[in-house]
Amino acid sequence: MNVSTRRISTLAVGAALALLLIWYAALFRPASHHLSSARRSYASAQQQVSQLQQQVVSLEALKKQIPADKARLAQLDAAVPHSPDLKGLLDQLHALATATGVQLTIVSPSQPASTSASPAAASALDGAQVSQVVLTMTGSYQQIAAFLTGLSRMPRAVVVDAANITSAAAGHGLTAELTTQIFYTS
């Protein structure tokens, strides 16, 4: 090979290397950088999709729980109604007395008061109103015990503060005087 062919070959290889270097610097490297950035963005997007899918599953589980929550809310509204509803309470007490066999002789409700007067009640029912109801009844031990158990199972929340049980005047059965509290929201 002669010198001029070598020079041409060297210049051709140099020109090819220069073109390769220009191609790498001008086209491949920026595209590679953008590709790398796109891969990071894709991975981040996949992670966000995974998190959102987990949130969807969680929200769908909560959505399925809505009917049970509504039923529980209805129970709580019945336990602590939005008015004193003394007629409803008297109906429930009468039905319980009839079912247990006790004879209610006195049912004496008091004027409603705020729970701020009763610190224990205020912590449980902030802003609720409370009314005291005194119940006097006669019956056997089993009947009065069944009545007390029934009070705890009534739809309306009734708290027994005090109970005074004595033998009846005629010697037949017992007389019980219960001091209770009922709650409502205003």
State pLDDT tens for residues 78-121: 888 888 888 888 999 999 999 999 999 999 888 776 555 455 54
Angle between helices 86-100 and 141-153 (to 10 degrees): 140
What pLDDT does 99 receive? 95
Neighbours of 116 (CB within 10 A): 12
Question: CA-CA distance, 73 to 76, in Å (whole number)?
Answer: 5
> Are 175 and 166 in contact, with CB atoms under 8 Å apart?
yes
For residue 16, the model assigns a pLDDT of 82
Per residue in 10-44, pLDDT tens?
A: 878 888 888 877 777 777 777 777 777 788 888 89
Domain boundaries, the chain: 1-79, 86-184
Question: Is 86-184 a domain of CATH 3.10.150.10?
Answer: no
Note the pLDDT of residue 126.
Answer: 64
Backbone angles phi, psi at 176, to 5 degrees: -125, 135
